[in-house]
Amino acid sequence: MKLGFYVNGLPVTVDTPPLRSLLSILREDLGLTGTKEGCGEGECGACAVHLEGELVKSCMVPAFQLSGRSVVTIEGISAQGPTGLQDAFLQEGAVQCGFCTPGFVMASEYLLRNDPAPNEEAIRKGLAGNLCRCTGYGSLLRGVQRAVAEGYTPRNFPPLSGEPFPEDSEMSRKSLEEEGIFLPRTLEEALKILETHGEDVLSVAGGTDILPDMVKGVRKTPRKVMNLRGLAELEKLEYQEESGALEIGAGVTFARIREHSLGARHLPALREMAAGVGAVAIQNMATLGGNLMTASAAGDAAPLLLALEGEAVFVSSRGERVVPMEDLYRGYRKTARQPSELLLKVRIPSRVFGSSQKFFKVGTRKALTISRLSLGCSVIEKAPGIFSRVRIGIGSVTPCPMLLPRASELLENRHLSMEYVKEAAALLARDVVPRKDTAYRQEMIRNLICRFFAELLEKRVVQS
């Protein structure tokens, strides 16, 4: 496909397959080799660039989502020579082989643009999606701290120059469709395309599951692709009086969920979960809809949404269909979605706002890890030590996320002591049959349930 977009303020056009990565275009077609290729799967951050001002990993940005958009690379950042930030890195010994440096510079620039005086924790979070094999992370941390202390402020992005790209004409749209590339402008158009092409067309949102799967060879290059990015109907995030629920569009990124004010006030576990999906660049790209529809047993959103009484709303040309979260998964990597449907949004009802809630994620390391076990919990305290609406969702251990079936029967509407919770948690854990490491995982489930209730019951003791 022929594609026009801006790089470092200047218009460029390329002819490329639709799912080729931005990284390949930058390096191979445009000769911008400052952006590096490390893992090619979203893990190392060497390929970080800014897309429309957001930090993203260019190895996961598909070409067909670039039309008319603006990319800034390390060459754009340092167009006028090394920046104060780059000098600070050098002075702190944060550069050895230099392979990771462009990625760290792009991540640091993004961090400082959004938070000009970050504390240590914020710097660690801001750089968490980047790997360095040489320097050790202390010098990188000090590099950013030095730049801040010296009053470094990121330069403004170079302004776009040259003629704006013409709106895609109907003609070019038609010829792209003949190539199997669909760029709908509205949800209605997208649904018509699905109606006609069904399973043959692959819908791409953030691309953070699709592109790494193609690199790993787990997924073949599809013959037909459809872009979901930018469809306004999928990107709404608001409280709806009518449904009495927070409605999160399927195309909403985890970064937006993390920052949403309702999360801070009423849904702290939702916020915590979103803030733990990969690192900043992944959160800027990955969508809630993609997370649920990829139907990975290890996806973080589903266990919590099960606990928060979520509902998935599908849409097709025939209208909307509501599926409670507990009916969304039909087996390993299988969902209730019909081929002509898109996931439109997820609803979280206001009856769980302010519930006692928690998202636990256990992995092989503390942060940036694929869950080996995840647990979403939500309960409403009716009276001291007595709870209603006890819901516990679980992920990673069974072929698909599930709700613990007996949680409400065993834990609701009775006065809970820790002794009783321990017994009930052991029974609940035994209802789960993990695919492997059965005893270990059941023990973890039991421990996390106990930890959740221990915090609630202890809080009550402290309060009284």
Ligand X SMILES: Cc1cc2nc3c(=O)[nH]c(=O)nc-3n(C[C@H](O)[C@H](O)[C@H](O)COP(=O)(O)OP(=O)(O)OC[C@H]3O[C@@H](n4cnc5c(N)ncnc54)[C@H](O)[C@@H]3O)c2cc1C
Interface with ligand X by CB under 6 A: which residues? 42-43, 202-210, 212, 228, 234, 250, 276-278, 282, 285-287, 289-291, 293-294, 299-300, 337, 342-343
The site for ligand FES, by CB under 6 A, has a size of 22
**Cβ at position 370, least distance to ligand X in Å:** 6
**Paired strand residues for 311:** 324, 347
Q: What angle separates helix 84-91 from helix 137-149, to the nearest 10 degrees?
A: 130
Q: Which is nearer to ligand X, 94 or 210 (CB)?
A: 210
Residues listed for the chain: 464
| Partner that binds at residue 29, options ligand X, ligand FES, none, CB closer than 5 to 8 Å by kind | none
**Cβ at position 97, least distance to ligand FES in Å:** 3
Task: Say if residues 392 and 358 touch (Cβ distance below 8 Å).
Answer: no
Residue 99 touches ligand FES, criterion: CB under 6 A:
yes
Q: 320 in helix, strand or coil?
A: strand
Q: Which is nearer to ligand X, 219 or 422 (CB)?
A: 219
Residue 213 touches ligand FES, criterion: CB under 6 A:
no
**Cβ at position 47, least distance to ligand FES in Å:** 3
Q: Cβ of 309: how many Cβ atoms within 10 Å?
A: 21
Q: Which is nearer to ligand X, 95 or 275 (CB)?
A: 275
Give residue 47's identity as a one-letter amino acid code. Answer: C
Q: What are phi and psi of 155, to 5 degrees?
A: -70, 155
Q: Which is nearer to ligand FES, 23 or 193 (CB)?
A: 23
Is the Cα torsion angle 91, 93, 97, 102 positive or negative in sign?
A: negative
Write the DSSP assignment of 167-220 as a string of letters.
Answer: PPPHHHHHHHHHTTEE--SSHHHHHHHHHHHGGGEEEESS-TTHHHHHHHTSSP
Q: Which is nearer to ligand X, 38 or 278 (CB)?
A: 278
Residue 100 touches ligand FES, criterion: CB under 6 A:
yes
Q: Which of 78, 72, 102 is nearest to 7 (CA)?
A: 72
Distance CA 252, CA 213 (A): 21
Q: Which is nearer to ligand X, 292 or 390 (CB)?
A: 292
Q: Which is nearer to ligand FES, 93 or 363 (CB)?
A: 93
Q: Which is nearer to ligand X, 128 or 262 (CB)?
A: 128
**Sole binder of ligand FES in the list 26, 51, 56, 59 (CB under 6 A):** 59
Task: Say if residues 377 and 407 touch (Cβ distance below 8 Å).
Answer: no
436: which DSSP letter?
A: S
**Cβ at position 11, least distance to ligand FES in Å:** 25
Write each residue from 106 to 135 as x if it is in contact with ligand FES (CB under 6 A), else as -, in one continuous string.
--------------------------xxxx
243 CB-near residues (< 8 Å, 6+ apart)? 347, 349
Task: Say if residues 69 and 46 touch (Cβ distance below 8 Å).
Answer: no
Among all residues, whose Cβ is closest to ligand X? 290
Q: Which of 144, 172, 174, 152 is nearest to 67 (CA)?
A: 172
**Cβ at position 24, least distance to ligand FES in Å:** 11
Q: Which is nearer to ligand FES, 126 or 249 (CB)?
A: 126
| Partner that binds at residue 40, options ligand FES, ligand X, none, CB closer than 5 to 8 Å by kind | ligand FES
**Cβ at position 454, least distance to ligand FES in Å:** 39
Q: Where are the alpha helices (DSSP H) in 252-376?
A: 254-259, 261-266, 268-275, 280-285, 288-293, 301-307
**Cβ at position 211, least distance to ligand X in Å:** 7
Q: Where are the alpha helices (DSSP H) in 70-118?
A: 74-77, 84-91, 101-114
424 CB-near residues (< 8 Å, 6+ apart)? 410, 411, 449
**Cβ at position 314, least distance to ligand X in Å:** 8
**Cβ at position 185, least distance to ligand X in Å:** 16
**Cβ at position 101, least distance to ligand FES in Å:** 6
Distance CA 141, CA 404 (A): 42
Write each residue from 14 to 53 as x if it is in contact with ligand FES (CB under 6 A), else as -, in one continuous string.
-----------------------xxxx-xxxxxx------
State the residues that interact with ligand FES by CB under 6 A: 37-40, 42-47, 57, 59, 95-100, 132-135
